[in-house]
Amino acid sequence: MDINNKLKKIIDFENYPIHQASFISKCRDKINNEGCVVLPDFLNHETINQLISESKKNQEKAYYCRQEHSVFIMPYDDNFPPDHPRNRLVVSSKGCITDDQISYNSSLKILYKSDLFRDFIAQVVGEKKLYEYNDKLSSVNIHYASEGQELGWHFDNSSFAITLLIQKPIAGGEFQYIRNFRDADSNEMNYGGVEELLNDKIGYDSLSMDPGTLVLFRGRNSIHRVTPVKGGLTRMLAVLAYNSEPNISLSETSRMTFYGRLE
Ligand SMILES: O=C(O)CCC(=O)C(=O)O
Ligand SMILES: [Fe+2]
The b-or-e profile of 79-105 (16+ CB within 10 A means b, else e) is eeeeeebbbbebebbbbbbbbebbeee
Query: Is the CB–ligand 1 distance for residue 226 below 6 Å?
Result: yes
Euclidean distance between CA atoms 160 and 164, whole angstroms = 14
Euclidean distance between CA atoms 140 and 59, whole angstroms = 15
Q: How far is the CA of 154 from the centre of ligand 2 (A)?
A: 6
What is the tally of structural domains in the chain?
1
Euclidean distance between CA atoms 68 and 88, whole angstroms = 9
Query: Is the CB–ligand 1 distance for residue 73 below 6 Å?
Result: no
The answer to whether the CB of 225 falls within 8 A of the CB of 153 is: yes
Alpha-carbon Rg for the chain in angstroms? 18
pTM of the model: 0.95
> In this structure, are strands 214-217 and 223-226 parallel, antiparallel, or unpaired?
unpaired
pLDDT in tens, 50-83: 999 999 999 999 999 999 999 999 889 999 999 9
Checking if the pLDDT of 153 tops 80, the result is yes
CA 69 to chain centre: 18
Pocket test for ligand 1, best of 67, 92, 143, 215 (most atoms within 8 A of CB): 143
Ligand closest to CA 215: 1
Query: Is the CB–ligand 1 distance for residue 156 below 6 Å?
Result: yes
Q: Which range marks the domain in which residue 122 is found?
A: 3-259
> Residue 2: pLDDT band by 50, 70, 90 thresholds?
confident
Query: Is the CB–ligand 1 distance for residue 241 below 6 Å?
Result: no
> What is the position in ligand 1's atom list of the atom closest to the CA of 165?
3
Q: What CATH number is attached to the domain comprising 123? A: 2.60.120.620
pLDDT in tens, 218-252: 999 999 999 999 999 999 999 999 999 999 999 99
Ligand closest to CA 208: 1
